[in-house]
């Protein structure tokens, strides 16, 4: 993603990553919604930025450097 350089909003980097992943013939879904359950009760939703091959979740961050809470 270094091809783009710095200074864009998160959506630009996310969309560029999606293009790159799809060019590798990977199954890519964006903004995929998951129901969250606690003790057999739905307590909310999680929306993943990118899901690859129905198994890898990518959370895109646009910041100067990663902070511990990004892990």
The DSSP bridge partners found for residue 48 are 32
Instruction: Of 44, 26, 27, give the one whose Cα is nearest residue 35.
Output: 44
Alpha carbon of residue 18 to chain centroid:
9
The whole-number pLDDT of residue 67 equals: 78
pTM above 0.85, yes or no: no
Using alpha carbons, list the distances in angstroms from residue 4 to 10, 15, 34, 55, 62.
12, 11, 30, 27, 13
Mean pLDDT of residues grouped by 10 in the chain (71 residues)? 80 94 97 97 97 93 76 70
């Amino acid at each position: 993603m270094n091809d783009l350089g710095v200074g864009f909003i998160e959506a630009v980097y996310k969309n560029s990553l999606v293009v790159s992943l799809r060019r590798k013939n990977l199954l890519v879904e964006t903004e995929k919604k998951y129901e969250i359950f606690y003790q057999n009760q739905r307590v909310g939703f999680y929306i993943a930025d990118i899901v690859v091959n129905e198994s890898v979740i990518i959370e895109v961050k646009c910041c100067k450097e990663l902070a511990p809470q990004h892990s």
